Amino acid sequence: MQRGDELVPGANLKAVEWLSDRERKALSAAGLETVADVLHRVPRRYEDRRVSAPLASLVNGETYSLSVHVYSAGWRFSYKRYYEVTVGEEGNPYGARLYLRWFNMPYVAKLIATGMKLSIYGKVKVFGGKLTMSNPDFEVMEEEDAGLRLAEIALGGSVAPLVAPAEGQERVHTGRIVPVYRAISGLAMRSYRSIVWRMLRELAQEVAPPVYDVAPAYPYRQALLDLHFPETEESSRKARMRFALAECFLQQFRVAWRRRRNQEQSGQITATSDGYLEELQASLPFALTQAQKRCVAEIRADMASPRQMNRLLQGDVGSGKTLVALCAMLLAVESGHTAAMIAPTQILAEQHYHNFCRLLRGMDVRVSLRTAARADDTDYLAEMEGDTTPRIIVGTHALLYKKNRPVDLGLAVIDEQHKFGVLQRETFINCGHNPDVLVMTATPIPRTLTLTLYGDLDVSVIDELPAGRGEIITAMRNPDNMKRIVAFMQSELAAGRQIYIVSPLIEDSEASERKSATAQLEHWKTVFPDEPMGLLHGRMSADEKDAVMAAFRANETHLLIATTVVEVGVDVPNATIMLINDADSFGLSQLHQLRGRIGRGAHKSYCILLSKSKPGEPGREKLEVLCRTLNGFEIAEEDFRLRGPGDVLGTEQSGLGAVRFAEWLSDARLIHRANRDATQILDSDPELLLPRHQHLRSLVATESSLSVIG
């Protein structure tokens, strides 16, 4: 659910009189301005605090929900002052005891006193031979003599005020399934939970249900209550799925709307003949794979039609996507249009440029380079003087600046599109008048996410690797094995091969024990003093990066010490070893991308994952997946399973926005259902003119006709 899309915002928090200024300020700093904002902020997880355990069964280090009787209470002092409450089971004054201690929470002394019955929740620890709980959550349930205590308070006594729940009142923090939210600076979890509870009870009517309700049989306000304070695990699941379907529907409606607009969008016919394409394929020392041929045919059919092409080209590392893109660009040039490819880094742009020049040698096709650092002088000056001859242009973000924008753009190719922002993609595509658009990604995407992120695009998949690639062997090693690793590296260097050594950090940090590239450079200089080495990281200037990569490509340096700047596109066929330090600190898909830098020639290659992680520890499982398979699509599915859809996405760049209910991202049935509902609405009311669809019209009013920019 997205603010302003389907929900009336509800009362502004400034109008909620019982909120303190401090609470209101903390909520505002967290981006919460209305009651709806608070009630639509989803719990991260839930804690089941319903079952009360006997005190005699408590185990050190475990967390418990308990119902206890207060036998004594008072201030104590050891290394710091704290309030201690001794509790036990009611009616058993000589039974087991538990000591509750609150540090830096003086207000607790005003809330808890002898004779009360408490519901508590916390972790038990043995301290000084005693079972203790530090700063547990608690609620006062009963008092032995409330009348006497109230009289003492009236006379100025120090006994805590009566805070037991009123008759019939439900508990909020204990004795139930309790929501746990992301922390808000300046506001304790207990305080925030109490605010949500009170708003649900007193202000939920301020939050209107969606005009188009996906589950009208399930009352909206009841679903809100079940979302935050479910009575059972099943009611929590039911509520989350209800809101997940609503969020999924909104996203799929946008997709369906954009797809229809795309299909209506007229473009240019940018494939009229195959002369250049046939000439290129005849000159190649190898044949295209069947998957590449299929993708070229799909792209050609789109470019030969008057409808604007919007196609995703998806393929694993080393599958030959760039060659397929070059085929498409040749079709555009032969039809009399310019084709341009934008890449996220100068290293990658220059690599594409040099590869295109090599592949097109002898053909009457101009290739230009546009980066912030340089442009090839002849073509650049010719274009500035008015030469609009169709050509292939490769560039970085420099293509977004007016002086470098392509002329008569017929085909826009976006390499690694998730590396670009929404406005950057829009600016690039708008260099032409409805140009055909080919989006490329080397990061395989799980099937359900493809439906979600690219449901409005036609998709071509290269699911076959070219022949002649060297085998890649992947293995986990502990740093204790370094002597054997060094000996193996020495043998590969002696055979004339090259090595990548990747670290997660650029420089050493006091906050992390992870290895850094700069420190690794000094280390490996002592290990291989006679071997030339290079250092590559993101803080270097473009010229410095170019010089380092040029030396490595030319085999002038034999070891490249780098950060993940080598993750995408770097192609050195002679490199046969990749040593990844602290491998468990990288994501699974990122590790697969890094591994894709080797195995690009005919030689057998080796990816060595250095990690101290042990079986069963976090991070170990993903390394085992990487050792088990080279299939990027299988790895993507495993990454999706291990990390969950919310962490895999990268929603800001994808244009998907904030996802609150990630359940639907991994549920193909839910996505198909939402897509079906959205399609039925558009079939019955294509322009959304019916009154009941006005809110949907406002939802898509600002939608672009190109999903790659929104």
DSSP code string of 60-118: TT-EEEEEEEEEEEEEEESSSEEEEEEEE-TT-TTS--EEEEEES-GGGGGT--TT-EE
Backbone angles phi, psi at 187, to 5 degrees: -140, 115
CA distances from 545 to 357, 401, 419, 488 (A): 21, 22, 19, 28
Strand ranges (DSSP E) for 504-595? 533-536, 559-562, 575-580
CB 707 within 8 A of CB 417: no
Instruction: Please say whether the beta carbons of 440 and 417 come within 8 A.
Output: yes
Q: Read off the pLDDT of each residue in 663-671 and give the average, rounded to a whole number.
A: 74
Which of residues 670 and 322 earns the better pLDDT score? 322
pLDDT for residue 645: 55
pLDDT above 50 for 590: yes
Domain ranges in the chain are: 13-47+177-231, 51-154, 275-462, 479-611
Side by side, the strands of the sheet bearing 498-502 are 472-477, 605-610, 575-580, 498-502, 559-562, 533-536
User: Using CA atoms, how far apart are residues 214 and 223, in angstroms rounded to an integer?
Assistant: 12
What letters, b where the CB count within 10 A reaches 16 and e where it falls short, cover 173-206? bbbbbbbebeebeebebeebbebbbebbeebbeb
Q: If we measure between CA atoms, which residue out of 440, 352, 457 comes closest to residue 394?
A: 352
**Of the candidates 466, 476, 468, the residue with the CA atom closest to the CA atom of residue 610:** 476
Band of pLDDT at residue 168, cut at 50, 70 and 90: very low
Residue 545's pLDDT is what?
A: 85
Contact, 544 vs 579, CB < 8 A? no
pLDDT 10s digits, 409-437 = 899 999 987 677 767 878 888 888 889 99
Average pLDDT in the 142-170 region? 38
Which of the four pLDDT bands, split at 50, 70 and 90, describes residue 276? very high
pLDDT, tens digit (0-9, with 9 covering 90-100), for 479-524: 888 999 999 999 999 999 999 999 988 876 655 667 888 999 999 9
Q: Are 594 and 566 in contact (CB under 8 A)?
A: yes
pLDDT at 394 over 60: yes
Is there a shared CATH topology between the 51-154 domain and the 275-462 domain? no
Under the banding of pLDDT at 50, 70 and 90, the label for residue 167 is: very low
User: In DSSP terms, which residues pair with 125 in a beta bridge?
Assistant: 132
Pairing outcome for strands 137-142 and 130-134: unpaired
Q: What is the pLDDT of residue 379?
A: 52
Taking the C-alpha atoms of residue 190 and residue 93, their distance in angstroms, rounded to an integer, is 30
DSSP run (H or E) holding 606: strand 605-610
pLDDT for residue 414:
92
Mean pLDDT calculated for residue range 682-688: 88
- DSSP code at position 706: -
| CATH code matching the domain that covers 51-154, chosen among 3.40.640.10, 1.10.760.10, 2.40.50.140, 3.90.220.20 | 2.40.50.140
Mean pLDDT of all residues in 379-392: 61
The stretch 394-399 carries a mean pLDDT of: 89
Mean per-residue pLDDT, 599-607: 89
Q: Tell me, rounded to whole angstroms, the distance of Cα 46 from its chain centroid.
A: 22
Q: What is d(CA 457, CA 450) in angstroms, rounded to the nearest whole number? A: 9
**pLDDT given for residue 627 in this prediction:** 93
Calculate what percentage of the chain has a pLDDT beyond 90.
Answer: 31
Helix H segments across 400-469? 422-429, 447-453
* pLDDT over 60 at 144, yes or no: no
pLDDT at 657 over 70: no
Topology adopted by domain 275-462:
Rossmann fold (3.40.50)
User: Among 228-232, 346-350, 554-558, whose mean pLDDT is lowest?
Assistant: 346-350
Residue 268 has pLDDT above 50, yes or no: yes
pLDDT value at 1 more than 80: no
Determine the angle formed by the axes of helices 21-29 and 189-202, rounding to 10 degrees: 100
Residues linked to residue 607 through DSSP beta bridges, in sequence order: 474, 578
Q: Is the pTM of this model over 0.85?
A: no
Is the pLDDT higher at 577 or at 452?
577
Residue 212 pLDDT grade (very low, low, confident, very high; cuts 50, 70, 90): low
Give the model's confidence band at 388: pLDDT under 50 very low, under 70 low, under 90 confident, else very high: low
Is the confidence at residue 653, as pLDDT, over 50?
no
Q: What pLDDT, on a 0 to 100 scale, did the predictor assign at position 691? A: 84
pLDDT for residue 10 is more than 50? yes
Tokens linked to 516: 């850094």
Say whether pLDDT at 559 is over 80.
yes
The amino acid occupying position 91 is: G
Distance CA 21, CA 555 (A): 65
Query: What DSSP line would sit under 553-564, residue for residue?
Result: HTTS-SEEEE-G
DSSP conformational letter for 52: B
* Residue-level pLDDT at 544: 87
Confidence of residue 659 (pLDDT cuts 50, 70, 90): low
Answer yes or no: is pLDDT of 156 > 60: no
What confidence tier does 176 reach under pLDDT thresholds 50, 70, 90? confident
CATH fold label, 479-611? Rossmann fold (3.40.50)
Residue range 159-183: mean pLDDT, rounded? 64
**Strand-pair partners of 101:** 84, 134
What pLDDT shows up at residue 269? Answer: 86
Contact, 565 vs 597, CB < 8 A?
A: no
pLDDT tens string 74-126:
998 877 889 999 999 887 878 889 999 999 888 888 888 888 888 888 999 99
E strand or H helix at 413, and its extent? strand 409-415
Q: Which of 13-22, 213-222, 371-380, 539-548 has the highest mean pLDDT?
A: 13-22
What pLDDT does 258 receive? 80
pLDDT in tens, 13-53: 888 889 999 999 999 999 899 888 899 888 988 888 887 78
Closest by CA position to 429, among listed 339, 492, 319, 318: 339
Say which residue, 394 or 588, is predicted with more confidence. Answer: 394
The pLDDT of residue 558 is 96
Return the pLDDT at 708: 36
The top-scoring range by mean pLDDT among 442-446, 503-507, 651-655 is 503-507
The fraction of the chain above a pLDDT of 70, given in percent, is 84
How distant, in Å, are the alpha carbons of 218, 424, 557, 649 from that of 657?
Answer: 26, 16, 43, 10
CB of 221 within 8 A of CB of 10?
A: no
CA atoms within 13 A on the CB side of 597: 31
Q: Given this model, what pLDDT does residue 634 score?
A: 83
Distance CA 224, CA 205 (A): 11
Question: Across all residues in the chain, what is the average pLDDT?
Answer: 81
The predicted pLDDT at position 298 comes to 96
* Residue pLDDT, tens place only, 338-371: 999 999 888 888 889 989 999 998 898 999 998 8
